[in-house]
Structure 1
Amino acid sequence: MSFIDYIATNWNRIAHLFMQHVEVVLIAVSIAAVLSLLLAVGTERFPALRRVVLSITSTLLTIPSFALFGLMIPLFGLGVAPTILALTIYAMYPILRNAVTGLEGVSPGLIDAAQGMGMGSVRRLARVKLPLAWPVILNGIRVATIMVVATAAIGAAVRGPGLGELIFTGLSRIGGANALNEALAGVVGIVLVAGVLDVLFILIGRITTSRGLNV
């Protein structure tokens, strides 16, 4: 059976795993984005603590994928939970790093002007700092998303959802009928997920970024 014939025959299963892959990535990145923004804002007045948090998240990023997923099993078992947690850990550093960079890049003069207009710290954050830092923050979210799209495939090792199931199943049956097609379908699917999400974040950036901030 050719690769095209395999796709046509197994389209429903592949589409289901494709949507699972997108969903688990977006959930993990959303959690990572919220946590990273809270950490970036919460440590703004504590530079030493901010450096520690950045150091910890960057160190966690260096843990090999199989090792991190394996460490999740005794605590969270198999399935969705360990997959999302591991992906969240991997996604945090790029988002946190960009959030810190974006917030630090806001002109102090603009912050002083907002304060002079009577804005409190919360209003300055919501109406000045975050909007100006948003393009940099969004780029961090975009990078983290594309990065964990590939890592999510390793989630199949702990019975997580997504296209990794096709790759692991295909490789385990290599030499058998359609084993290569199955693995290849998973790889191509992951590439398509990365492309779709990348385009999505480009569109989000154009919609949510003020025209004055677009380069």
Structure 2
Amino acid sequence: MTFADYVADRWQQLLVDSYQHVSMVVQCVVLATVVGVLVGVAVYRSPAGSSVATALSSAVLTVPSYALFGLLIPLLGLGVAPSVVTLVLYALLPIVRNTIVGLSTVDQPVVDAARGIGMSRWSVLRRVELRLAWPAILTGMRVSTQMLMGIAAIAAYAKGPGLGNLIFSGLSGLGGANAVNMALAGTLGVIILALVLDALFVLVGRWSTSRGIRG
């Protein structure tokens, strides 16, 4: 069976796997963004706190994904739970770091002007600093998303959802019928979805960032 025939015969299952893959990655990036922005807001005014937060989130990336899945399986079992925890942990570094950088580089005169017109500390953060830091935060989300698209495939090791199951099944059955087609379909699916999500991030950035900030 050719690759085209394989895709034509199984396109519905491929769509389901693709949806599960994208859904898991997007939800994990959103969760990591909430956590990462909160951490960044909490520490960006403290050089020591910023260094600690960046170092801790960086430390996660030194752990091989297989090892992290293996460590979490005894605690969380198989399936979605270890997959989500692993992906969120891996997504934190770009978001935490970019949040800190974005907030730290907001011009102080802009902040002083906002306070001068009577805005509270919370209002300045929400309406001025976070808006000015948004392009940097979005870039962190974009980097994390691209990184997680590949790592999410390894979630199949923990029986997680997505295209990784096709890749693992194909590689483990090399020599058998359609093994190469399965691995190729999963791999190409991850690449195509990563490119689509990256394009969507570009559009979101243009839509959500004012022309003055982009300039």
Give your verdict on TM over 0.5: yes
Offset at residue 48 of structure 1 (A): 1.4
Q: Secondary structure of 1:176's match? A: coil
2: CA distance, partners of 1:82 / 1:67: 12
| RMSD, aligned CA | 0.8
| Aligned residue number for residue 73 of structure 2 | 73
Calculate percent identity across the aligned residue pairs: 50
Q: Is the 8 A contact 2:43 2:100 kept in 1?
A: no
Q: Is the 8 A contact 2:45 2:104 kept in 1?
A: no
| Aligned residue number for residue 213 of structure 1 | 213
| Aligned residue number for residue 178 of structure 2 | 178
Once the two structures are superposed, what CA deviation does each residue of 1:159-187 show, in whole Å capped at 9, x if it has no partner?
Answer: 00000000000111100000000000000
| Aligned residue number for residue 115 of structure 1 | 115
Q: Given residue 75 of structure 2, which amino acid in structure 1 is its aligned partner?
A: L
2: CA distance, partners of 1:129 / 1:200: 24
Q: Secondary structure of 1:63's match? A: coil
| Aligned residue number for residue 37 of structure 1 | 37
2: CA distance, partners of 1:97 / 1:46: 13
Q: Secondary structure of 2:157's match? A: helix
| Aligned residue number for residue 23 of structure 2 | 23
Once the two structures are superposed, what CA deviation does each residue of 1:100-151 show, in whole Å capped at 9, x if it has no partner?
Answer: 0100010001001111111111000111101111011101100000011000
Q: TM-score, normalised by structure 2?
A: 0.98
| Aligned residue number for residue 139 of structure 1 | 139
Q: Given residue 156 of structure 2, which amino acid in structure 1 is its aligned partner?
A: A
| Aligned residue number for residue 55 of structure 1 | 55
Q: TM-score, normalised by structure 1?
A: 0.98
Once the two structures are superposed, what CA deviation does each residue of 1:31-78 show, in whole Å capped at 9, x if it has no partner?
Answer: 100000000111234331221111010011111110011111011100
| Aligned residue number for residue 12 of structure 1 | 12
Unaligned residue ranges in structure 2 (runs of 5+): none
The alignment of Structure 1 onto Structure 2 pairs a total of residues equal to 215
Q: Given residue 192 of structure 2, which amino acid in structure 1 is its aligned partner?
A: L
Unaligned residue ranges in structure 1 (runs of 5+): none
| Aligned residue number for residue 91 of structure 1 | 91
1: CA distance, partners of 2:212 / 2:177: 56
| Aligned residue number for residue 167 of structure 2 | 167
| Aligned residue number for residue 204 of structure 1 | 204
